[in-house]
Amino acid sequence: MRAIILFLCIAVSIVFSGFSSGESQLSKLMLEMKSDMLRIKENVKAGKPIGKYNKKKYAKIYTAKVSSESKKGEHFEEHATAFLVQCERTSQASGDQVKIEYNNLVTACIRCHEAYCPGPLSMLKKMKVN
């Protein structure tokens, strides 16, 4: 009986801690960012302004839990800040500047991933607009 109770406690804690899917908070946030950026890319290619981004959601990049501490190092916050500053610049751009700022935004992602998590690099490089 104790084993069953212990098992249930562990199972419930896993479900409520957000680890049931195997993804960290940071990876989930970055998947949302990827989805947003793919939508933005289509606007950039069509010559449309990209509009606002979700500042509150994106600011979670500083506090989102990671699957491994090696995914965030001593310079992670600098990369995160550069990304958020570039988000703001991209959202305020107009005309021909939209494409330039969007590509700079993708570059900000690439720089961080070169330092901490190289897995998405090939996908990120494809997100640029020529």
Residue range 11-49, pLDDT digits in tens? 333 333 444 456 899 999 999 999 999 999 999 998 887
Closest alpha carbon to 123 in 106, 100, 102, 105: 106
Residue range 61-90, pLDDT digits in tens? 999 998 876 567 778 999 999 999 999 999
Q: How many CB atoms lie within 10 A of CB 74?
A: 6
More confident residue, 20 or 52: 52
- Please give the pLDDT value at position 30: 94
- Please give the pLDDT value at position 52: 83
Structure tokens at 8: 């249930």
CB contact at 8 A, 111 and 73: no
Alpha helices (runs of H) in 18-96, residue ranges in sequence order: 25-45, 55-58, 76-92
When pLDDT is cut at 50, 70 and 90, the band that residue 5 belongs to is: very low
pLDDT at 2 over 80: no
Q: Does the pTM exceed 0.95?
A: no
Distance CA 53, CA 55 (A): 6
**What value does the mean pLDDT take over residues 3-16?**
38
